[in-house]
Chain A
Amino acid sequence: DSGVTQTPKHLITATGQRVTLRCSPRSGDLSVYWYQQSLDQGLQFLIQYYNGEERAKGNILERFSAQQFPDLHSELNLSSLELGDSALYFCASSVGITGGQPQHFGDGTRLSIL
């Protein structure tokens, strides 16, 4: 058990809709990362937060946004969903923001767009 909790595990919705994915990091970790994993794109970094502040942004679409709350849990909001957004979305956490730190992953949210 990584200590990282993601909800929901599965999400099925339609194109054009908006969903919110939630992540609770491992106790003591201040950094939260979001990743998208799809068959054709592999594991792609989306965004990182550290202690409530956005610290790094990757290949995140403008339709997607995230935030980290004072209790350190994080939410990833996906709007105007398209078929191509179907993927596994992972949250990971680490203690800090320096390089060379292991990241601890949740089991992901599988998003299916119909």
Chain B
Amino acid sequence: SQQGEEDPQALSIQEGENATMNCSYKTSINNLQWYRQNSGRGLVHLILIRSNEREKHSGRLRVTLDTSKKSSSLLITASRAADTASYFCATDARMDSSYKLIFGSGTRLLVRP
């Protein structure tokens, strides 16, 4: 079952605009990660935010985390056509003697040139 649910499911914007994607999760977490997946390719890790952090930046990416609302958002500023991809949030779940990542359903982002 999915731990995270992304919103919106799909987003279409013009190049240069900002894109905001949201992720909600169900159980308490130690950290949350965001990944990007280009069509037909593997997932690429973008950023990790820990439960004691509220905001984190990496280049044009800004991630926020609100543990009280069990939600996170990913903001891509000044979007480019190359940002067209699916974006997933993922949370750790303790399993057996290790951890697994539980991925959300993803947001499909289309950036129009």
Contact = CB atoms under 8 A, between A and B. Distances in A.
Contacts, number: 69
B92 A100 contact: yes
Interface stretch (A62-70, A75-83, A104-112): A104-112
B8 to A, nearest CB: 16
B69 interface: no
Interface string B28-59: 00110101000011111100101000000000
B31 A56 contact: no
B87 interface: no
Query: Which of A56, A57, A99, A108 has the most CB atoms of chain B within a 10 A radius of its CB?
Result: A99
A97 B97 contact: yes
Given A106-B42, A108-B42, A99 B30 contact: yes
B101 to A, nearest CB: 6
B112 to A, nearest CB: 24
Contacts of B95: 56-58
Given A42-B106, A99-B31, A100-B92, A2 B100 contact: no
Contacts of A102: 33, 45, 48
Shortest Cβ-Cβ A-B pairs, 4 listed: A105-B42, A102-B45, A99-B92, A55-B98
Interface of B: 2, 30-31, 33, 35, 40-45, 48, 50, 88, 92, 94-106
